[in-house]
Structure 1
Amino acid sequence: MAGERDLQKLLSGMRPVLNPGRYVYCTLSGRVPAGLRPVVTVAEAEGPTVVVAQEEADSLGLPYEYVAAWITLEIHSALEAVGLTAAVAGCLAEVGISCNVVAGFHHDHLFVAAEHAEPALAALQKLAADQP
């Protein structure tokens, strides 16, 4: 199934959903440990970065600095869609919230500081509602 490319349709139909839990970014010096269940993995020259549930990182003694909330935009966006990331990041920047965006095949996922979860969700809902 092809994803949506039209920015207007993406913004008006993006239905942001706050996933339960708190998530942390961990950088690893080697391979991802067996049994670790990251929701995001990024291969970097310095070693893999993983985003995992805070409880899982704590139970494995993994160090982290950033504690985030995970928001999923519940619309199937095409990977080649233009402007969605900019519009969402801009909307959040206007209210002083930074975000880290990860594109999956079906959805875009935002990680915002945990203490900004509700204001971020409200800003994104308003962005969707304000579309003609």
Structure 2
Amino acid sequence: MAGERDLGRLLAGMTPERVPGEYVFVVSPEPGVPAGLHPVATVGEDEGLTLVLTREEADRAGLRHDYLAARITLRVHSDLAAVGLTAAVSTRLAEAGISCNVIAGYHHDHLFVPAERAGEAMVTLRALGSDRPF
């Protein structure tokens, strides 16, 4: 099923939701995902495979990390060809001085923001969604 493409509708319906837990970005110590790990996302880079894991899982596996993030899922079903959602969200968070790493899934966009600023990020995102008419 195709997702929404209209930016106004995307912003009005994005319904940000904080996913429980803390998340970290690590580089896999071996090619591929090590046995026993269950990343929420992977990104292949020339330098290695980036894994996005819960902090708990990374700590249990002894994987070093230095960025502790909260995960916020935008519950609107955005079409992968939609234009402007990532730009609008990241711009508003940048204006608030909040870094944001975005990973797009088939159905939703997932934002990783500094864990200590998660509450502020949620307020900022809710305000962005409410100030955009359908």
| TM-score, normalised relative to structure 1 | 0.98
- Does the residue aligned with 2:45 lie in a helix, a strand or coil? coil
Once the two structures are TM-superposed, the CA of residue 28 in structure 1 deviates from its matched residue by 1.9
Once the two structures are TM-superposed, the CA of residue 45 in structure 1 deviates from its matched residue by 1.1
User: Hey, what does 1:17 align to over in structure 2?
Assistant: 17
User: Hey, what does 1:98 align to over in structure 2?
Assistant: 99
Once the two structures are TM-superposed, the CA of residue 20 in structure 1 deviates from its matched residue by 0.2
Deviation string for 1:101-122 (max 9, x for gaps)? 0000000000001001000000
- Does the residue aligned with 2:117 lie in a helix, a strand or coil? helix
Q: Aligned-residue CA RMSD in angstroms?
A: 0.7
What one-letter code is carried by the residue in structure 2 that aligns with 1:101? V
CA–CA separation in structure 2 for the residues paired with 1:24 and 1:75: 24
- Does the residue aligned with 2:37 lie in a helix, a strand or coil? coil
User: Hey, what does 2:6 align to over in structure 1?
Assistant: 6
CA–CA separation in structure 2 for the residues paired with 1:27 and 1:59: 15
- Matched residue count: 132
- Does the residue aligned with 1:43 lie in a helix, a strand or coil? strand
Deviation string for 1:54-79 (max 9, x for gaps)? 01100110001100000000000000
Deviation string for 1:21-79 (max 9, x for gaps)? 00000012422101100001011111100010001100110001100000000000000
Superposition misfits of 4+ residues, deviation over 3 angstroms: none
- Unpaired runs of at least 5, structure 1: none
1:98–1:113 CA contact under 8 A, matched in 2: yes
- Does the residue aligned with 2:119 lie in a helix, a strand or coil? helix
| TM-score, normalised relative to structure 2 | 0.96
Identify the structure with the greater strand proportion: 2
- Unpaired runs of at least 5, structure 2: none
CA–CA separation in structure 2 for the residues paired with 1:34 and 1:46: 20
